[in-house]
Amino acid sequence: MKLIKILGWIFLPYIMVFVDWKRLGKVGKRVGAAWAILALIIGVAGRDTTNKPSPSNTTESANVTSAAVNSPKTEAVSSSQTVTTDQQGVSASATDVNTTQNTQRIQAKVLEVVDGDTIKIKINDKEETVRFLLVDTPETKHPKYGVQPFGKEASDFTKQLLTEKTVELEQDVNNGPDKYGRLLYYIYVDGKSVQEQLLEKGLARVAYVYVPNVKYVEQYRKIQEQAQKAGVGIWSIENYAQEDGYHSDVVKKNEPEPSKNTVATQTSPKPNPQPQPTPQPVQEVYYANCSEAKAAGAAPLYRGEPGYREKLDRDKDGVACEK
């Protein structure tokens, strides 16, 4: 209906002018043209006024517009929250996958048992040396320490468990190699952890704990605590096994002296005692740093040697200033 009125206002003057055009003079033609222009302006203005929303409609429109504008933002936030949750979910899934991968074990043939915590295996048609993760047994082939107390027992126990056996290797976050080129694994034979068995019998201590390969460290420490309380193996000698390694000098100090009764029952004649040289006092040697030790020609320094200090032994392997 509004459209009809607008068209009437616009075209009526033109119709009138067209019908009476010949009868009108100059003044009439000008008045008619002016009327047509005025009618056109009024019609357009009326159309704008008709389409102009009321204040209430404006408010509602503004609210709708505001809602429309804000709606995408809300959706964007929700989307962002969803993405964050999804990312956490993916992260958790990735962790689960890594855990699954870490708990997967690979089989390998044992070629040789080097000592209590080191073996040689054949894997992927290649010979590799493997160091047991998170444990340390006393030495049997160390160039300085030789065979330490309970080192042979630990080595014999590992040989009994693993010689010519097929073992399972479990990787932690990474499998090395360490600075000696050895791979690092948790070892299992017949479904049982070799590390745990060594700790249970007091033939190893928890050691070389380096992040990120710490998956079973707390579990191993609990087993070690039980062995310490029971006083088995390395824990049967007070202060022998410590955080920085094994102290053979403590074992010598704690060795019992021969019994007098045992000496009295000896029937063979005692040889004439030979004069013993007077022991010279051991001169204490102190190196402020590895540079001084190297300059003195004493490097590397092994635990128990004059000048050895734990502060100079960065990796706590019993050898200071080795590089």
Residues involved in catalysis = 131, 139, 182
Dihedral of alpha carbons 197, 246, 185, 116, sign: negative
Our measurement of the distance from residue 117's CA atom to the centroid of its chain's CA atoms, rounded to an integer in Å, reads: 24
Backbone angles phi, psi at 59, to 5 degrees: -60, -45
Helix, strand, or coil (residue 110): strand
Neighbours of 172 (CB within 10 A): 19
Distance in angstroms (rounded) separating the CA atoms of residues 263 and 294: 48
Query: In this structure, which amino acid lies at residue 85?
Result: T
Distance in angstroms (rounded) separating the CA atoms of residues 106 and 104: 7
Helix, strand, or coil (residue 276): coil
Task: Identify the CA nearest to 285 among candidates 311, 305, 310.
Answer: 305
Query: In this structure, which amino acid lies at residue 256?
Result: P
